Homo-oligomer: A and B are copies of this chain.
Amino acid sequence: MSSTYGDNLKLSIFGQSHGAAIGMTLDGIPAGLPVDEAALSAFLKRRAPGQNTHSTPRKEADAPEFLSGILDGFTCGAPIAAAIRNTNTRSGDYSNLIDCPRPGHADYTAQIKHGGYQDTAGGGHFSGRLTAPLCIAGGLCKQWLERMGISVSAHIAAIAGIADTPFDPIVPETGQVDALFPVLDVQKGIAMKQAIEDARLSGDSVGGIIECAVTGLPAGLGAPMFGGVEGKLAQILYGIPAVKGVEFGAGFALAGLRGSESNDAFRVKDGSVVTETNRCGGILGGITNGMPLLFRAAIKPTPSISRPQESVSLSRMENCTLEVKGRHDPCIVPRAVPVVEAAASIALCDLLIGEGLLHRQEK
């Protein structure tokens, strides 16, 4: 199944970039959870396009309409459905796009999978635009986590090879993150923006890394083997277009350490068990240990670039040169930060519902 996620909740996402609407259904959410639509709007705005020079000029309100599941500001136990109308709908003739697939995009694989019937306009169902309904679901989940004292915060760990200061793994500085271009080190942020602008001017794009920290999670969430928190998170994170790597705690760097360096010593502090370091990213044996959950996701450069690129004509089966029309984000990393938070929030709510920790309220 392409677009359905979850064990204890079921998220179903629909829509094509230039179709009538995009949206989502989120089933299995307990009744009685409050919904703060203003906070959700603010969250969605972090993902919205067209807010500054480093993102695409297409401006869309992207205001979701809730079709079901919410009553008088609370979840009512029925599936929550929301839709966003596409104002920029399919009008022209996109049939030529189907012939010459864009490198780095899903055009070619969509053609193979869907045999020519796929919606090619704007990338169809493969468009990054589908992360908007993901953010509706995830923005709601993030609110419910916050009520439980669980904070999900991400920042730009790197863009174009320029690295931000990483989170402190014991006390992540989640409160210091600016909303639209979230970095810990403002100077590094300025350099990143310059690198994005350089790429844009040369008709190119850049990628980056997003680091996310979750604090306030109870210990004991997750399960061994295929029920582990790492696997659950990775599955949904790889559902975000452009993610090509996911690592937890020290991640790939652990491969170069010795056990005496990578093991996090247990200590008693203020009557609780903590670890002195947090190289495991808060997860042991697939289960949270009560320390901050830390992970990083690698985002590839935007594949849509204005430079001429080598491709093929599928109808003539011969090489050709492609020039992608329109303007695209030279870097999607800043807008992907809330998407990563949304995805993580959904996965964590799924786990918390499964443990009976996120449950229905009584009026």
Contacts and interface: CB of A to CB of B under 8 A. Distances in A.
Contacts of A109: 219-220, 222, 283-289
B310 A266 contact: yes
Interface string A326-363: 00000000000000000000000000001110011111
A275 to B, nearest CB: 8
Contacts of A27: 1-4, 12, 14
Nearest to A103: B263
Q: What is the copy number of this chain in the assembly? A: 4
- In terms of DSSP, what is the predominant structure of the interface of chain A? mixed
Contacts of A4: 4, 10, 12, 27, 226-227
A316 to B, nearest CB: 9
A180 interface: no
A106 B284 contact: yes
Interface residues of A, number: 154
- Counting chain B CB atoms within 10 Å of each CB, the highest count among A65, A209, A255, A319 belongs to A255
Nearest to A76: B119
Interface in A1-58: 1-5, 7-10, 12-16, 19-23, 25, 27-28, 31-32
A130 B266 contact: no
A217 to B, nearest CB: 12
Nearest to A264: B103
B362 A103 contact: no
A358 to B, nearest CB: 10
A250 interface: yes
Contacts of A189: none
A68 B20 contact: yes
A149 interface: no
Nearest to A274: B312
Interface in A206-228: 206-209, 219-220, 222-228
12 contacts: A3-B224, A12-B27, A14-B69, A23-B81, A31-B117, A83-B83, A112-B290, A125-B225, A126-B285, A158-B255, A204-B260, A255-B299
